[in-house]
Amino acid sequence: MSEDASLPPSVVAGLTKVSHDLQARYQGVFGLETVRELVFDSYIQLAVTAKATNWLVVGAERFATQRLDALVHADARSDERVPSVLFLCVHNAGRSQMALGWFNKLAGDRAMAWSGGSDPGNAVNESAVAVMSEVGIDLSRQFPKPWTDEFFKAADVVVTMGCGDACPLVPGKHYEDWDLDDPDGKSVEEVRLIRDEIRRRVVELMVRLDINSSV
């Protein structure tokens, strides 16, 4: 992908620096052009729904890093791969973020996971952030993002939560649909119940994937 001429020069400079930094991190795995394409594409995808733009270069770096890690995981030999899960909901602002938070906390480095939305929101649900912080999981630095091909290629299991027909079906993937209330518009007390139900389902998923809990 060529640089978008509509981007401000300061943004192009920032994304170019991020591209070089990430290429150095993945030296010998990805060339600069591949990394640069993902970095610029990540910025553009996040900018579609962002109300504020001052965080987008940092967001693009984190989003691109997740996508690069997914590519590495997808190409790893089967005996080197750990189980991997993709959590999907509509806005990637509540349910899928909480599920990812629980999964990362409980699975640790024994698995990998990502999340995404069919129609990403502007920010992670404040009540979701609050109730997850009560159990020691920090979602304050997370941000809604779309799902990408890289995540689908890497995932062994795709968990959908309310995105219906908008969730794409990829042959060869194991799908689960979790019927969970959307935290949007719910009270903190109600979101706590959703949080605890998500934890229960994450634990059950880990058992099925033979992943031992880290806590």
Closest CA relative to residue 12, chosen from 48, 45, 44: 44
What percentage of the chain has pLDDT greater than the value 90? 82
* 163 carries an active-site annotation: yes
CB 80 within 8 A of CB 59: no
- Say whether both 9 and 100 belong to one domain: no
pTM for the model:
0.92
CATH number reported for the structural domain that contains residue 36 in this entry: 1.10.8.1060
- Say whether both 61 and 104 belong to one domain: no
3-state secondary structure 60-112: HHHHHHHHHHHHHHHHCCCCCCCCEEEEEECCCCCHHHHHHHHHHHHHHHHCE
Confidence at residue 1, expressed as pLDDT on a 0 to 100 scale: 44
- Say whether both 115 and 181 belong to one domain: yes
Closest CA relative to residue 70, chosen from 1, 2, 152, 131: 152
Residue of 167, 180, 194, 202 marked active site: 167
- Say whether both 96 and 36 belong to one domain: no
Q: Per-residue confidence at 13, pLDDT binned at 50, 70, 90?
A: very high
* 69 carries an active-site annotation: no
- Say whether both 89 and 180 belong to one domain: yes
Query: What tokens were used for 215?
Result: 């806590």
Where a domain ends, among 77, 98, 124?
Answer: 77
Residue of 22, 85, 86, 89 marked active site: 89
- Supply the range of the domain harboring residue 59: 1-77
- Say whether both 169 and 93 belong to one domain: yes
Where a domain ends, among 47, 77, 107?
Answer: 77
Q: Per-residue confidence at 6, pLDDT binned at 50, 70, 90?
A: confident
Confidence at residue 3, expressed as pLDDT on a 0 to 100 scale: 54
- Say whether both 90 and 168 belong to one domain: yes
Domains in the chain, number: 2
Residue of 163, 191, 198, 202 marked active site: 163
